[in-house]
Structures are given as structure tokens and as C-alpha cells.
Amino acid sequence: IVIYWSRSGATELLASKIANLTNSDVCQITLTNPYPADYLETRTRANRERDTGLTPDLNMQLPDLTQYETVYLGFQTWAMTLSEPLKAFLKAYGNELSGKRIMPFETNGGYGIGNCLDVMSQLLQISGATNYTIERPLTIAGNQVDVADTAVREWCD
């Protein structure tokens, strides 16, 4: 299954490429109060959430993950760390990833993945997840997703 969160559409496009290549089911992480379309407003809200430790409320139903061995987990890197919606997802559902092979994929503004995998591991442990593995991530600059087919195919293989 491909589980992802996307604000601008770049991670959603990447998720769809991965789902098509792997013939995977898809689950989008959605929020009760979506981020604004305006980038500066989103950045202000995300910074406030990160500074206070308060993640946004989720508005989604997670399917039964017992039928999946591999979870492709998509997100954005914000300020060199895991975006707040994915933190919220891991806090709420991280224990559901026990025993799973986690294939992280992310988009960023050109600065890379930062400490996302460390934060992901910490949140999985806090949530009670066990016996999972986090594989090598796919990292794509958000403005390059549309031309990243070769990189996506190689990573999926």
C-alpha cells in the first residue's frame, strides 16, 4: 500500500507513480483543517505547529494493514525535518506499521531529507511499533517529480 500526505501535489504525483509501478493500493493522509494554498501561510502554521509540538488533526480512515507486507510512506521534508502531518500520522497509527517493510519516499525544496528518518524511527518507537524495517528512501526535489521516472523505477525495483 502507498500511504502519503501531500500539500502542493508533488508528493501525490510521486505516490501515483509508485502505486502504478508497484500495483499498490493507495491511502491519502488528510487533515481536518487543511493547510492553506498560500505557501507563506502554510509555512507560518507549520512552524507554529513544530515549535509547539502540536500536530494537525487527521481526518482519515486507515485501511486494515494486516494484508500488506510493504508500506510505501510518502511525505514532504519541511525545514529539514518530517512534515507535521506525517508526524501526526505516525503518532496516531505508527503501531499499525509493526512487522512492515517501510519504503519512505519524500519530496523537498531542494535541500534533501534532513533528519526525517531519525524522527520517523523515534515516532514509530514511541507509538509502540515493533519488528519493522525502514528501507533506503527515495528523495526527489518537488519540482523534479514530473521528470523523475527513471529514479522512481530504479527505487521501486
Which positions ≥6 away from 23 have C-beta within 8 Å?
none
Tell me: pLDDT of 96 over 90: yes
Q: How far apart, in whole angstroms, are the C-alpha atoms of residue 44 and residue 72?
A: 28
Cell output for 38: 498560500
Domain ranges of the chain: 2-156
Q: How far apart, in whole angstroms, are the C-alpha atoms of residue 108 and residue 141?
A: 5
Tell me: pLDDT of 150 over 90: yes
What's the CATH fold of domain 2-156? Rossmann fold (3.40.50)
Q: What is the pLDDT of residues 3-54, one digit of tens each?
A: 999 998 999 999 999 999 999 999 999 999 999 989 899 989 999 999 998 9
Q: How far apart, in whole angstroms, are the C-alpha atoms of residue 94 and residue 96?
A: 5
Is the model's pTM score more than 0.85?
yes
